[in-house]
Structure 1
């Protein structure tokens, strides 16, 4: 009987030290490619290794997939808002050893700053790969 009481007290002490973190979940359905607002989010008890614990870290991001109410938002489900859309006319920039080439292209993908995407040169119809820059241009690599 005494061992059971000691185990019970030990469990209370351990339980007092354990803190359960909150996980960010959608408060309503959020469509893919939508910008997430603070009012779209809620906190639910429970800690998830690849989830978010604060609403501030999710608000302002873009949903990459459909987010359903009550389900935890995972790291891969959201990202920075896209600034280049598919079929958008963009400036392609190539720089190498002092050579600078600028041409118009059509974006074949959608992307945020830093994303790699395909772009088609409007003059030659060649498909190239580049990285989205802050100003919305595409820095083409070799």
Structure 2
């Protein structure tokens, strides 16, 4: 008799203890999960043996969703979890963590899809893709491939506005579709100086950086390649970081005004040379006036090198005569 009473009391005490533990479970109003499902263990701080019971599917990586409290209550009762909705919740918010697909990957996919639709881009241009919210915000599961594929695209070539539906990861046909919007426009990389350079200074490769400009701002007179800049000298002071015009640059001066130069006239086997004084400064290929030191006549020639001027036709015969009259050597 006493043993039976003791057993009954023990059973009641154990049941009370279990009920007390179950009743202590507390519902979390917001949770974040990493996997594809939401379990009782995710949403209750003490779900016990029922922690692995699935309540709902999780939202896509990087997104949030809601689960109604009535659905949660049903799952909790079926699995022996007693709790009180003291906060009066009607739903909880569930977020799913994920890994960002690199912005460059998304932009490249969008640019490729637009280029496949339009062939009117300038030859030297690339397509710049800017997202409406500053970022694409595409995420995939943490263990998934970080890639996207454009499934649908709407593009307005007049203002560059686009709307795209993408799949991420690209090769997972069960992955959710995401809608992103933004603007795409052609840009061109142009070289600029990293320091201020004065006339007479020669631009070196180490003096050059690159900036990206909308193609509409790059006229045919803008410097767009290294050969147009390296080894050149500005006609006027050139400021760092600003696009340069072809007309701003020239080969470095190799003949200074007032310098002594060697003049050469070549006609067949005949070669005449004489000394003169440059009346103009010039770079290789420039036409300069030179005063013959002996005849005191002015002739025009083409700068060929440092303090070297070639006398050419038209007027070559007259120039040769002037050289001869000055005692030129053959």
Q: Which has the larger radius of gyration?
A: 2
Q: 2:210 aligns with which of 26, 37, 43?
A: 43
C-alpha displacement of 1:134: 4.2
* Structure 2: gaps of 5 or more residues: 1-152, 156-160, 164-182, 316-330
C-alpha displacement of 1:43: 1.7
Q: Which has the higher helix share?
A: 2
* Structure 1: gaps of 5 or more residues: 1-7
Q: 2:252 aligns with which of 68, 76, 81?
A: 81
Q: 1:65 aligns with which of 236, 244, 269?
A: 236
Q: TM-score, normalised by structure 1?
A: 0.78
Aligned to 2:290: 119
- More displaced stretch, 45-54 vs 121-130: 45-54
SS at match of 1:12: strand
Aligned to 1:9: 154
SS at match of 1:95: strand
Larger RCO: 1 or 2 (CA < 8 Å, sep 6+): 1
Q: TM-score, normalised by structure 2?
A: 0.37
Give the root-mean-square deviation of aligned CA atoms: 2.5
- Summarize deviations over 1:87-122 as a string: whole Å, max 9, x none: 221111223465432110011122222110011100
- Summarize deviations over 1:20-76 as a string: whole Å, max 9, x none: 002222222111111012332222221412112234541221122110123211101
Q: How many aligned residue pairs are there?
A: 134
Q: 2:277 aligns with which of 106, 114, 117?
A: 106
